[in-house]
Amino acid sequence: MSWTRENRWRFGLVVLGVIFMFGAPHVLELFTVINLTTAIALAILALSLGLIWGYGGILCFGQTAFFGLGGYVYVVAAINFGGSSWAVLTAILVTALFAAILGYFVFYGRVSDVYLGVITLTVTLIMYSLIRRTSGPSYKIGDALLGGFNGITAPPLNLPWDASTFLYPEHVFYVAMAALILCYILSFWLVQTHFGRVSVAIRENELRAELLGYDIRFYKLAMFAIGGAIAAVAGVIFVNGVGRVTPDVFNLYNTALTIIWVIVGGRGTLIGPVVGAFLIFYLTSSLGSQAVVNSNLILGGILILFVLAVPRGIVPSLIELADRRRHRQFSKREQMRMRRRNRRNGAASETTHER
């Protein structure tokens, strides 16, 4: 991987993330840190969709299905295992396997992009409806009662080597930021590998990539499963941030929000969905504290505005503006060099003529 300008600013983002991770708990209040943990979980979810949609060309309306499944599997596994150490890994693996199985039937069945969106949205609605109907003592997995619409209280994270030592909210923030940074590093490493370049080629033109000999079904399936695993990480962080998991993690509101985050932040980038998630999270939090304007109307207006006025999203538009400014500055410097060179050449010709 060449050390290009793009890689340098990505490295700078990682450094800023590490500084923020260690500095925020010492500066911010505990309530703000807990809110930030929730926002970070949603940012990881946005990153997962930004990866598979922006680089794999897979518009998945069911990313919240993997998000919620990861949260539920974590809670159920943590209750039955008596700790979170293996529960986190179980949640990621089970969700990735579920995404792989679903993706196998979708991609190897040659389902079109439109029906892919319908199928993933239907899966999300089915999971939402099923979990809501699990009230009562008979609906349990091992020792974990599913709780229906009331959900399940999440066991706190513990140290991997000591199940009796639990993490406080500020420590969960460290875990959340570390997870976001690692998922971001994994994602931008992935998109620069051969696998990532082929995935982008498939996004641009499936037929051409297939004629070149690539199995587009395998690449889409692998990207889909990786996105599901990252969404599961987001689900695990989310339930530890809020302290419980409920069927609302599967609802249509969260499904729509995930797509809005990516559109606002910028599809085709990795940091864009993260930025979009943070901005919309704090915007909805601010709107929720007032009763004058319906927050859903504001979000709908924002979506329409960005689709019409800023279709590329915030981050790509800012990058384009910076590139234009840099190009103008470079052109001005070149013009000044040409003028100085012409002056020197003119002066030299006059001296030669006098001689």
Q: What is the mean pLDDT of the chain?
A: 87
Backbone angles phi, psi at 29, to 5 degrees: -75, 160
H helices, E strands: number in the chain: 13, 6
Helix (H, G, I), strand (E, B) or coil at 213: coil
Q: Which two tokens stand for residue 146?
A: 């599913």
Spatial separation of the C-alpha atoms in residues 264 and 284, rounded to whole Å:
14
- Highest mean pLDDT pick, 224-238, 256-270, 291-305, 311-325: 224-238
Q: If you write DSSP's letter for every residue of 264-326 in order, what string do you get?
A: HH-TT-SHHHHHHHHHHHHHHHHHHT-SSS-HHHHHHHHHHHHHHT-TT-HHHHHHHHHHHHH
Spatial separation of the C-alpha atoms in residues 231 and 286, rounded to whole Å:
25
> Rounded mean pLDDT of 21-47?
92
Amino acid letter, residue 59: L
DSSP 204: H
Q: Which two tokens stand for residue 350?
A: 């006059």
> Which comes out higher in pLDDT, residue 165 or 237?
237
| Percentage of the chain modeled with pLDDT above 90 | 50
Instruction: For the chain, give every domain's residue range.
Output: 5-312, 316-355
Question: Could you say which architecture CATH assigns to the domain 5-312?
Answer: Orthogonal Bundle (1.10)
pLDDT band for 104, please (50, 70, 90 cuts).
very high
| Percentage of the chain modeled with pLDDT above 70 | 93
Whether 5 has a pLDDT exceeding 70, the answer reads no
> Which comes out higher in pLDDT, residue 317 or 125?
125
Say what angle helices 63-81 and 85-107 make with each other, to 10 degrees.
150
